[in-house]
Amino acid sequence: MPEEQCVSLTDVTFAFGKSAPVLAVSKLSIATEEKVFVYGPSGSGKSTLLGLVAGVLVPEQGSVDVLGSNLATLSATRRDRLRADRLGVIFQQFNLVPYLDLIENVLLPCRFSPARARRVAGSAQERAVKARDMLVRLGLEHEVSSGQVASELSTGQQQRVAAARALIGAPSLIIADEPTSALDTEARSIFIETLLGEADKAAVLFVSHDMSLAAHFDRQISMVEINKAKSTAAAKTHAPERELRSV
Amino acid sequence: MYLLALAWKSARARSAATILTILSIALSVALLVGVEKVRTGARAGFAQTVSGADLLVGARSGSVNLLLYAVFRIGDPTTNLSWESYQRFASRPDVAWTIPISLGDSHAGFRVLGTTQAYFDHYLHGQKRPLVFDHGVAFSGTYDAVLGANVARELGYDLGREFNISHGIVSAGFAEHADRPFKAVGILEPTGTPVDRTIHISLAGLEAVHAGFNTGSPRIGTRRGSTETVEEDLEPDSITAFLVGLKSRSAALRYQRDVNTYPREAMSAVIPGVALSQMWRVVGGAEQALRAVAALVVIAGLAGMVTALLTSLNERRREIAVFRAVGAHSRDVFSLLVVESALLTAAGAVLGVLLVNGLLTAFGSHIEARFGAPMAISGLSAYDLTIVGAVIVAGAVLGFLPGWLAYKRSLADGLTVKL
């Protein structure tokens, strides 16, 4: 595994408005192509961490280096551009734009990033073919052939389309926010394996409270341990914390 | 460009709300444009009805009233004008021509107008266009009649058709002058003025049927009412009004003063253009009120659209988070809603203008017939385009509100939407 840093957080604090900080991380780094599993109970700052790494949130202090740029000093436009060009994001659910078809959903990042579009293919037709191939690899051949729209898919199928969208155009970092929480156990394993199989050239930052998934990853990080902010919900409720640590 | 496609797809996905929004904007724009079209149409129609005459003279009354009944056939004359006074003012040296007008009878709901050959020679309408015969000729005999275009079309009358005229103006006159029918000898081309809805006969013809009707009911046993009446006897006692063309327009004011101060009979002379502008001053307030109401309806339509967009924002927060996650700027989110708002208003405004133009093309002549007011309804006009443009701009500007809210929320939500 290469040693270069893909993500590096140093002395980062973040607060919503004027309230007390919800996140305080002194050091967190993810190497290129490293698959990292971040776990912690609700309210422990997992989503905030992802927002910072994705460049949607900006830290009050500290630096968030992602793929060689300090997001804290980049303009909003540059952060959006970096995200469009080099990141893939998967949510817990409701990942798709309901009125676009599956291929349009997968190619959505290419609409906001010419560089990413070029990485996929030179022409719009070729890109559509690539997107279709990806969906077929993820087991959605029937759905894409019958021209279904996003809202007609099951949750598991929607998550696979979301994975295809995150993976299209070979991003360097994939951020996933509990993408399996709405799936049953079997679909969950298939999803993780498919995602990690397709993302072998990317770093993955995967957030979940489901410890049964931890074994799929190179490294496991406890949110409660790295987040020193006093005001987090996790800091006040110790029971789930202990349970997770025992894994 | 992609935002436009996205906005369109997003609007289409919520088709019920989109259709209702577009429809409400279309109807409000149709109302606004329609009010203006009818307003300018009526003004142009009235202005075009009489374009060649310098003065209109009738028994003393308000100038608007005189103009309405004598030229536009709206309402009824109060008093007539004596033939002697007409003769006196028609024979002045500064007069080029006069057209006597005698009203009061009807056939099948159409007014009958007694006049002379001068009517066909000097009456001008629109841009100083003379009356033209579609077929046939002007009346020459006592019982000849010339039909306006609508009269011939609506009654299905052709040349040679014989009919009776009735006293009064209801469609079934309370007494038919049945002793001798009139015969259509000419049919005029359409003019878009009340001429189209008028049956023209000679003064002698009118006098002939009225010979026995001076008291409003036929006098039994008088010789003059019989069909053997000879034309020389048929000089009328009075007429309703007359139009005057002067040799020099500058004489109009003196002529008007002479008529108004004529000691032997109380008469009024009005300059048609002046009387028209007086009339528009009277109805101007109502017009303004109507326009204001129409404008308010458009504002209500646009407010409805903003409400629909704001309501949709909650369900669209996830969708907006998706756009942000794949690299859309916050300002893209803002633009998406502004574009969508502009798209909906554009669709509504264009539909509204097409709707009102279609309706007026289809029913314009019906409105004219129904209300008796001449209308010169224009097609697609610069005003229509101005309204379309203004409504789209207003729609886009109003889209700033949902756009700004979506922008704020997209910043606050980050990648996680908690609903």
Q: What is the pLDDT of residues B120-179, one digit of tens each?
A: 999 988 778 889 999 899 999 889 999 999 899 989 999 999 998 887 665 554 555 556
- Chains A, B: CB contacts within 8 A come to 75
Given a contact cutoff of 8 angstroms between Cβ atoms, the answer to whether A113 and A84 are in contact is yes
Give the integer Cα–Cα distance in Å for A207 and A38: 5
Question: Is B327 at the interface with chain A, CB within 8 A?
Answer: yes
Sheet holding A23-31, edge to edge: A23-31, A5-14, A61-66, A69-70
Question: Is A165 at the interface with chain B, CB within 8 A?
Answer: yes
Q: Which of A52, A58, A104, A112 to mutate to test the interface with B (most CBs of B within 10 A)?
A: A112
pLDDT at site B178: 58
* Local confidence band at B418 (pLDDT 50, 70, 90 cut-offs): low
pLDDT at site B373: 63
Tell how strand B95-107 and strand B241-246 pair up: antiparallel
Q: What is the pLDDT of residues A136-151, one digit of tens each?
A: 888 888 888 888 888 8
Give the integer Cα–Cα distance in Å for B15 and B9: 10
Q: What is the pLDDT of residues B192-227, one digit of tens each?
A: 788 988 999 999 888 887 765 544 444 444 444 444
Residue A200 CB: number of other CB atoms within 10 A?
9
CB contact under 8 A, B325 and A57: no
Nearest to A99 among B12, B326, B328 (CB): B12
Please name the residue of chain A whose CA is at the shortest distance from the CA of residue B326.
A109
What's the average model confidence in pLDDT over B256-269? 92
Given a contact cutoff of 8 angstroms between Cβ atoms, the answer to whether B241 and B77 are in contact is yes
Nearest-CA distance A84 → chain B (Å): 4
pLDDT at site A223: 86
Residue with the larger pLDDT of the pair B97 and B12: B97
CB contact under 8 A, B417 and A96: no
Please provide the average confidence, as pLDDT, over all residues in chain B. 84
Which among A141, A152, A155, A137 has a CA at the least distance from the CA of A198?
A137
pLDDT at site A194: 84
Asked if the model's pLDDT at residue B229 lies above 50, the reply is no
pLDDT at site B368: 67
Question: Is A56 at the interface with chain B, CB within 8 A?
Answer: yes
Looking at beta carbons, which residues of chain B come within 8 Å of A85? 327
Given a contact cutoff of 8 angstroms between Cβ atoms, the answer to whether B311 and B42 are in contact is no
Residue indicated by tokens 């107008």: B113
What's the average model confidence in pLDDT over B91-108? 91
pLDDT at site B27: 92
pLDDT at site B174: 53
Looking at beta carbons, which residues of chain B come within 8 Å of A111? 2, 326
Give the integer Cα–Cα distance in Å for B10 and B18: 9
pLDDT over 90 percentage in chain B:
34
Residue indicated by tokens 């009075």: B238
Give the integer Cα–Cα distance in Å for A227 and A49: 9
Give the integer Cα–Cα distance in Å for B152 and B158: 7
Residue with the larger pLDDT of the pair B225 and B234: B234
DSSP state of B387: H
Residue indicated by tokens 């009738």: B58
Q: What is the pLDDT along chain A (247 residues), one digit of tens a residue?
A: 444 788 888 888 888 877 888 888 888 889 888 999 999 888 888 888 888 898 888 888 888 989 988 888 888 888 888 888 999 988 887 788 888 889 999 999 998 888 888 888 888 889 999 899 888 888 888 888 888 888 888 888 888 899 899 999 889 999 998 888 878 887 788 888 888 888 888 899 999 888 888 888 899 998 888 888 765 554 444 434 333 433 3
Query: b/e per residue, A49-80, with b = 16+ CB within 10 A?
Result: bbbbbbbbbebeebebbbbeeebbebeeeebb
Please name the residue of chain A whose CA is at the shortest distance from the CA of residue B5.
A100
ipTM for the whole complex: 0.83
Q: What is the pLDDT of residues B271-316, one digit of tens each?
A: 988 888 888 888 888 888 988 998 899 899 889 888 888 888 887 8
pLDDT at site B218: 44
Token pair of B263 as six digits: 């000691």
Q: What is the pLDDT of residues B27-45, one digit of tens each?
A: 999 998 888 888 888 888 7
pLDDT at site B417: 61
